[in-house]
Amino acid sequence: MAAAPRRRDPNTLSNYEHFTTTHTKISLAIDFGTRTLAGNAKLKIKSTNNSGQQEIVLDTSHLSILDVSLDDRPCEWQLAPRTEPFGSPLVIKLKQAIKDGDSVDVDIKLQTTDKCTALGWMTPAQARSEFPYMNSQCQAIHARSIFPCQDTPDVKSTYEFVIDSDMPVIASGLLRNVEKLEDSELRRHTCYQEIPIPSYLFAIASGDITFAPIGPRSRIATNPESLDAAKWEFEKDTENYIQELEKIVYPYQWKEYNLLVLPPSFPYGGMENPVYTYVTPTVVSGDRENVDVVAHELSHSYSGNLVTAATWQDFWLNEGWTTYLERRLQAAMFGEPFRDFSAIIGWKGLKDSVAEYGEDKREYTKLVPDLNGQDPDDFFSQVPYEKGYTFLSHLEALVGKEKWNEYIPHYFTTFARRSLDSLEFKENLIKFFAADESASSALKTVDWDAWYYGTGLPQKPKFDTSLADVCYALASKWENASANHFKPSSEDVKGWKGRQLVVFLDSVNDFSEPLSKELAQAMGDTYGFFESKNVEVTARYYRVGLRSRDEKVYQPTTELLSNVGRMKFVRPL
């Protein structure tokens, strides 16, 4: 019998240390009129460490529970009082204790409410369509507002999705069937996810969605008007990314890797839902400069989705490993200097996050923070991404890249379809290199407590700055433009990648004094920033103009804020 999971996640009210969900069937009808989902959730729950437990406790939040049955028989149940920010636990009484290893079927009739935190409902105007739109976002602890579950990344189950809608549906599972329901405008979409996933990776979306192939195992999905542009953006590189990542880890496990381009109000850059990565439309820039979002979200197919951090306190195991794989993938695609160039950008993001938290929120800057009683969403920052990446790169440097390359597939094989915490990672790494005297000696120099629980910035790595130096040099010319009589030319940025423009503009925005209005306008006109469709570039240039009080950027800034929901761009403006 498999060992029972330890109770290590402080952000769930479920008693998952005694029971674990092994399969979840979600049957829901989407009602765009009432903005609700209604149906039932059927959970197969296995006793793992019962110790005479007389109840099963599941997470819910702002969810209407209509009825509950156990093995198709009525049972006693109640919703306990709400505990912020974790919700109202659903307590299901057992008539008798369940023997370890045995399972019960829990069937729950439910309806979402207008307080559901996982669902985004858009009017046709918001969706830029003739039709409304709905999508879910369950990370970190929002799945419990769609269906009762053990809402912890420490529990993973297989899924069956049965979704009724009058518009196309996608889910974080492979589509098996679509059928029209009798005497109804609804169509029933049935999807399966046979690889166990945590509840935060439950995902559905429905709207005016069309599809096109972008590779032998990939499709793009978006609204009809944007399909051709989105297809062009991703069809050249997606399969290449998959194949290169397979060389670093091992063959892709999820059969399909698809992308859903959401309406502009989607607030994130991407979300790594299995089978269908959600991406912001801002990556469709017409120059393929932002398709590296695929490098990050695809890497999640291994780190986070297949091998999962057991708690949100260990979130760095998801995002640090994913950022590491992303940059290894970029190095394979574009050359080793690009890895450090990307890391330089990431280091700036880490510095900004640490500075933003200040002294009163030093806990937020730990690689492994204490989230007891905390909402994990409040801890979202660049820390798990970039501090995690820096730590893994440090470990790589200690043992040597060639040896580290052997550890990567070992790690993702050992913990595949499982969840682990930071201490398990440490134990696994040390054990793997135990027979290698030099690597083992190197790992003994690691101050694990300082890395895991230390606050603030780690020691800055030595980066290859070759791709960044030209950006800094040009920024320096602009900072001293008046004194040096600098005359800008379009040749200054000829052949530059979008990320180089990002580094240049970030440097300009870091000037202690803003540019004059005349210089800011000259920059935009000379380098074509007003004509650019790359929001990574234009949003940063608009900040330059706003600091300079250049009226010419006011209107395009207003338009960007009206058209783009991605928080990364909206907040700084």
Secondary structure (3-state) at 205 = strand
β-pair partners for 222: 210
90, 60 contact by CB (below 8 A):
yes
Q: Is 313 among the annotated ligand-binding positions?
A: no
Tokens of residue 456, six digits: 């603030």
Q: Is 296 among the annotated ligand-binding positions?
A: yes
207, 262 contact by CB (below 8 A):
no
Q: Is 271 among the annotated ligand-binding positions?
A: yes
Encode 7-44: b = buried (16+ Cβ within 10 Å), e = exposed: ebbbbbbbbbbbbbbbbbbbbbbbbbeebbbbbbbbbb
Cα–Cα nearest to 139, from 282, 312, 17: 312
CA separation (Å) from 349 to 28, 232, 345, 352, 355? 40, 30, 7, 5, 10
Cα 65 to Cα 59: distance, rounded to the nearest angstrom: 12
Cα 447 to Cα 75: distance, rounded to the nearest angstrom: 52
385 is catalytic: yes
Q: What are phi and psi of 353, to 5 degrees?
A: -65, -45
Residue type, 519: L
β-pair partners for 158: 23
Q: Is 566 among the annotated ligand-binding positions?
A: yes
139, 200 contact by CB (below 8 A):
yes
437 is catalytic: no
Q: Is 567 among the annotated ligand-binding positions?
A: yes
DSSP, res 97: P
Q: Is 319 among the annotated ligand-binding positions?
A: yes
Q: Is 300 among the annotated ligand-binding positions?
A: yes
Q: Is 401 among the annotated ligand-binding positions?
A: no
Secondary structure (3-state) at 20 = strand
Q: Is 268 among the annotated ligand-binding positions?
A: yes
Query: Scanning the structure block, which residue is given the tokens 């394979």?
Result: 332
Q: Is 568 among the annotated ligand-binding positions?
A: yes
Of the residues 278, 385, 411, 452, only one is catalytic, namely: 385
Secondary structure (3-state) at 116 = coil
Q: Is 485 among the annotated ligand-binding positions?
A: no
List the helix and strand counts (H, then E) for the chain: 18, 22
**Do the strands 276-279 and 258-261 form a parallel or antiparallel pair, or are they unpaired?**
parallel
Cα of 344 vs its chain's centroid, Å: 21
Cα 346 to Cα 362: distance, rounded to the nearest angstrom: 19
Cα 261 to Cα 269: distance, rounded to the nearest angstrom: 10
Q: Give one word for 376, left, alpha or beta, with left for phi > 0 and alpha for psi -120 to 50.
A: alpha
Cα 525 to Cα 518: distance, rounded to the nearest angstrom: 11
Tokens of residue 515, six digits: 């540019």
Of the residues 244, 297, 479, 536, only one is catalytic, namely: 297
Cα 373 to Cα 371: distance, rounded to the nearest angstrom: 6
Other Cβ atoms closer than 10 A to 396: 17
Cα 322 to Cα 299: distance, rounded to the nearest angstrom: 5
Residues identified as active-site:
297, 385
Task: Please state the residue numbers annotated as binding site for Zn(2+).
Answer: 296, 300, 319
Task: Please state the residue numbers annotated as binding site.
Answer: 137-139, 267-272, 296, 300, 319, 566-568
Task: Please state the residue numbers annotated as binding site for a peptide.
Answer: 137-139, 267-272, 566-568
